[in-house]
Amino acid sequence: MASTAIADRLRAMAGGSAVALRLRPESYADHYFAALNATLREVGMETQGQTIFVSVTNPASLVWSLAQALDVPADRLAFVDAISHTMMNYRDPLPNATYVESPRMLENIMLRVEYLLRKNPNPRTIVVVDSVNTLAIHNPPDLLSEFFHILLNNLKSRQVLTVLLAVYDETNPDLDQMLSLVVDETIDVSSN
């Protein structure tokens, strides 16, 4: 699915919706870039748009370099980076990022998202979580389910569009069931 089609589907979602973008592992790089293009550039750069990117799989520095390639201005994008410390990739912290020591620190992730929402209030905010699969590796299912219920209910009450990235073939049935309970729609990025 082209990034424009993904962006159109995201724009059609009601305020406060939660969407899972499912990527296929065999075309992960292409699908990941299409998802970033749709969320960061096409929807996130709309009038009064702001994106908070919760980075759990790829460090904020990598996502920021991809965002720069998409011409996303720094004032439209903020990061909650929960993987750089774990990967020992914390040499040059980004000025538009806040860092959490581990993907296991779910409460800190929620608090940082809340801080960024209050710091940069915008009528059209998107929160992107990359990815559900990595969070599932680092956290037990019941704790992860509680995290998503609390986070998404908070974001829904504030009319924030939430996008959860997930990789097909790397999720287990429990994770699929949890996702089906917390998202309003699932978009398969590989569909034409």
- What confidence tens digit (pLDDT) does each residue in 39-48 have? 999 998 887 8
Mean pLDDT of 94-112: 95
**In which element (H, E) is residue 182 found?**
helix 173-182
pLDDT of 60: 94
Asked whether residue 189 carries a pLDDT value surpassing 60, the answer given is yes
For the segment 7-33, the average pLDDT, to the nearest whole number, is 93
H-helix or E-strand containing 187? strand 185-188
pTM value is: 0.94
| Predicted local distance difference test score (pLDDT) of residue 89 | 67
Classify residue 111 by its DSSP letter: H
Please give the share of the chain, as a percent, with pLDDT higher than 90.
73
The pLDDT of residue 190 is 81
pLDDT at 192 over 60: no
Residue 128 has a pLDDT of 98
User: How much is the average pLDDT of 122-138?
Assistant: 93
Tell me the mean pLDDT in the region 52-71. 95
- 40 contacts: CB under 8 Å, gap ≥ 6: 51, 53, 67, 70, 72, 77, 128
Residue 149 — pLDDT band, cuts 50, 70, 90?
very high
Contact yes or no for 112/129 (Cβ under 8 A)? no
pLDDT for 118 beyond 90 = yes
Cα distances (Å, whole numbers) of residue 180 to 58, 127, 167, 173: 24, 18, 14, 10
Domains and CATH numbers, the chain: 3-184 (3.40.50.300)
* Residue 174: per-residue pLDDT: 83
